[in-house]
Structure 1
Amino acid sequence: MITVAQALEHLFELADALPHETVPLRDAAGRMLAVPVAATRTQPPFAASSMDGYALKGVEADLHAQFKVVGESAAGHGWTGTLGAGQAVRIFTGAPVPDGADKVVIQEDVERTGDLITLTDGPEPKDNIRPAGVDFEQGNVLLAPPRRLSSGDVALLAAMNVVTVPVIRKPVIAVIATGDELVMPGEDPGADQIIASNSFGLAAMFEAMGAVVRILPVARDTKSSLITVFGLTRGADLIVTIGGASVGDHDLVAEVAADLGMDQAFYKVAMRPGKPLMAGRLHGVPMVGLPGNPVSAMVCGTVFLQPMLRTMMGLGRTPAPRVQVPLAADIAANGPREHYMRATIAKGQITDAGLQDSSLLTVLARSNALMVRPPHDPPRMAGTVVDAILID
């Protein structure tokens, strides 16, 4: 068996960088930026008023000074003349500041009669003008990878007048559940069968990261069925099998994959849950064989596959991020394998979920963290700070 850290290094080596593509701006949210993007225009492209008021010359803005209003500048409809001495232009927020003006007096400080205004309050230091290019200038590189594009990023790209965005292509993941005992949700299970849940939990996990998931038909416990389903993985960037990776008489995934030419990188990891984990390449495509127990599969998805996907999408080789949280109660010593215990973080403390059987999805569903216990970790008292991985 290898350690979790060693398994991650193997998986990072298998995680091929994905090519990039260009998508419309409207489809860019949540995608991974592929190359730096520069502004194609200056923002704002002109000096603009930040307030509603009157544009005039600042040196003339004395208390009780009077000005003749000679025009109006509104957003999208600027005043094209040049301001002279003793003149003012009615101006609105976002409108271009006319030539000759260097100050906007807010309308609350002005009294107007016809075309004549009088300043009723002393001059304030602010000029209430946003200079041209105060946000960004044409040619500025404002966004660069690695970066998942947020709604704010999309707004910025739109202001930059970027119509199409270079992004990393979405990874395509083929998910194969294996076992005679499985039927799909909605089907009528036999007396000895259960519902295939792992495929759907993992698909939700991967799709939340931006992947495209193909849930393939359940592969039965025969070589011919496995070969047929493996044949449906063409075009995938990653193949994930669930179950059949152990050493029982009906665990055929490793044998069939080897017959099909898989170059195995490792098998078995010193962890709980998730020991019977396998990985390698099949026809040049990375393949990961997960344990069949539901919690084991989901924990391995968090610990191994999510970091692997982040690497494929250009986010670097980093393990699942951890937080440090104090224990709410004492916990017993850990065994010889690294343990990822289902747990709950509440009010700044962490509590293990009690039952840690790898088949109990109800325990996983009510947990929001995995408490990480090193091998042979001694008993820990309440208040001791431990590592945890946050889960949805």
Structure 2
Amino acid sequence: MIPVEEARERILRALSPTAEEVVPLPAAWGRVLARPVVARLRQPPQDVSAMDGYAVRAADAVAGARLRVVGTAPAGHPFAGRIGPGEAVRLFTGAFVPAGADAVVIQEDTTAEGEDSVLIREPARPGRHVRRAGLDFATGETLLEPGRRLTARDVGLAAAANHPWLTVHRQPRIGILATGDEIFLPGEPLPTGGIVSSNSHALSAVVRAAGGDPLLLPIAPDDTHAIAAAAMAARHCDLLLTTGGASVGDHDLIQAALGPHGFALDFWKIAMRPGKPLIWGRLGDTPVLGLPGNPVSTMVCAVLFLLPALARLAGLPAGPPPLDIALAGTDLAANDRRLDHLRARTGRDASGRLVATPFPTQDSSMMATLARAEALIVRPAHAPAVPAGAPIEVILLERLGI
């Protein structure tokens, strides 16, 4: 058995980001930027008014002064002339500040006297209520760096920088193959001995949450030819996930099925709980990650290995899931030689500190317990017993988006 950290590093070393593609701006949300976004203009393009009011020369706009209104400039309709001594131009928010003006007096500090005169009740200051040209960004400035998942704010910034298209990484295409004579789709009639397939649907959701494009393959029975045929059909994918058939029983057939078709095994068996029987290798050019059949083992392996792999394929920084510190909600026994991940509820103590309490039963088949869990308590190999209230490391599942 190899350590979790070594297994993850070997997986990540074998993967590269997907190719670039150009998408229209409305389709860019959630995609991973592959090329920098550089401003094609400055923003604002000229000095603009931050408020409704009057563009003035600050030297003229003293309290009690009456200025001659020589024009009106709504946003998008700049005043064509220049403000001279004793003059003002009626402005609205976002309008260009006319040449000759160096301040804006907001309308609440003025009194209009007809259409061509305004009384200044509060003095102006140079630059007051004026957004200077280039205040937000300058032409040629790099606004967004590659390797970030684009948020709604990023999309808005790219639009403001005059980009109708963005270059992003193609969404990783992930084939998902569930195996086993006993597996049936949700809603199908279940024969005696049959169980509903949950792993492939959970993994599909993980892939979508990470920005990938899942391809659910038909369930393959415990037959090497059927498994091989399904796997070969997914060789165009960026990664093939299998679930089930990764252990040591007579019906654990992933390696036996793919071996004759050029499958090259990198490693098998991880020093962790749950999820020891994990396969990593390559079927031709297609990386293959073989996950255990137990549902909880599958999802824990997805947290530790699949999510980092998806990040690498998507062009994001990839590494272990983030760890947080919590207090143990109960006494924890000493651990054995395998890194353990205990499903746990979380809460806060009277001081507001995070507390994680493991469920009393940690069987790797219990999906209901996993669905109720808010964290995985990480227990290193050979960790000593921990009393209630002691600090422990946890993986908060909500932070992972799954």
Shorter-chain TM-score bucket reads over 0.9
Query: Matches of residues 1-392 of structure 1 in structure 2 within 5 Å?
Result: 1-114=1-114, 115-123=116-124, 127-347=128-348, 348-391=354-397, 392=402
Given that 1:15 and 1:309 are in contact with CA atoms closer than 8 Å, whether structure 2 keeps it comes out as: no
SS at match of 1:362: helix
Shift of 1:43: 0.8
Shift of 1:124: 5.0
Q: Aligned equivalents of 2:321 and 2:62: distance in 1?
A: 62
Cα-to-partner distance string for 1:61-92 (whole Å, 9 max, x where unaligned): 21111101110011111111111111100011
Q: Aligned equivalents of 1:150 and 1:277: distance in 2?
A: 34
Given that 1:343 and 1:353 are in contact with CA atoms closer than 8 Å, whether structure 2 keeps it comes out as: yes
Given that 2:236 and 2:286 are in contact with CA atoms closer than 8 Å, whether structure 1 keeps it comes out as: no
Q: Aligned equivalents of 1:165 and 1:125: distance in 2?
A: 39
Equivalent residue number for residue 351 of structure 2: none
SS at match of 1:60: coil
What is the RMSD of the two structures over their aligned residues, measured on CA atoms? Answer: 1.1
SS at match of 2:59: helix
Given that 1:333 and 1:377 are in contact with CA atoms closer than 8 Å, whether structure 2 keeps it comes out as: yes
Q: Aligned equivalents of 1:122 and 1:162: distance in 2?
A: 41
Cα-to-partner distance string for 1:199-241 (whole Å, 9 max, x where unaligned): 0001001111110001101111011211221122131000010
What residue ranges of structure 1 are gaps of 5+ in the alignment?
none
Shift of 1:125: 6.6
Cα-to-partner distance string for 1:235-270 (whole Å, 9 max, x where unaligned): 100001000011111111111121211111100001
SS at match of 1:387: strand
Shift of 1:173: 0.4
Report the residue type matching 2:373 in the other structure. S
Q: Aligned equivalents of 1:167 and 1:215: distance in 2?
A: 24
Deviating more after overlay: 93-102 vs 377-386? 377-386
Q: Aligned equivalents of 1:219 and 1:255: distance in 2?
A: 14
Q: Aligned equivalents of 1:3 and 1:186: distance in 2?
A: 39
Shift of 1:126: 5.5
Deviating more after overlay: 257-266 vs 199-208? 257-266
Q: Aligned equivalents of 2:124 and 2:143: distance in 1?
A: 36
Shift of 1:122: 3.6
Given that 2:104 and 2:130 are in contact with CA atoms closer than 8 Å, whether structure 1 keeps it comes out as: yes
Deviating more after overlay: 125-134 vs 95-104? 125-134
Given that 1:14 and 1:281 are in contact with CA atoms closer than 8 Å, whether structure 2 keeps it comes out as: no
Shift of 1:35: 1.3
Q: Aligned equivalents of 1:11 and 1:360: distance in 2?
A: 27
Report the residue type matching 1:346 in the other structure. G
Given that 1:14 and 1:280 are in contact with CA atoms closer than 8 Å, whether structure 2 keeps it comes out as: no
Q: Identity rate of aligned residues, in percent?
A: 44
Structure 1's consecutive aligned runs of 4 or more residues displaced over 6 angstroms after TM superposition are: none
Q: Aligned equivalents of 1:29 and 1:231: distance in 2?
A: 32
SS at match of 1:84: coil
Q: Aligned equivalents of 2:72 and 2:48: distance in 1?
A: 13
SS at match of 1:249: coil
Aligned residues: 392
What residue ranges of structure 2 are gaps of 5+ in the alignment?
349-353
TM norm structure 2: 0.95
Cα-to-partner distance string for 1:331-379 (whole Å, 9 max, x where unaligned): 2222221001111222221111221100000000000111100011111
Q: Aligned equivalents of 1:18 and 1:55: distance in 2?
A: 52
Q: Aligned equivalents of 2:302 and 2:90: distance in 1?
A: 62
Report the residue type matching 1:137 in the other structure. A
Cα-to-partner distance string for 1:116-145 (whole Å, 9 max, x where unaligned): 111112445761100111101111110012
Report the residue type matching 1:372 in the other structure. V
Q: Aligned equivalents of 1:282 and 1:319: distance in 2?
A: 25
Given that 1:52 and 1:106 are in contact with CA atoms closer than 8 Å, whether structure 2 keeps it comes out as: yes
Shift of 1:112: 1.5
Report the residue type matching 2:65 in the other structure. A
Shift of 1:272: 0.3
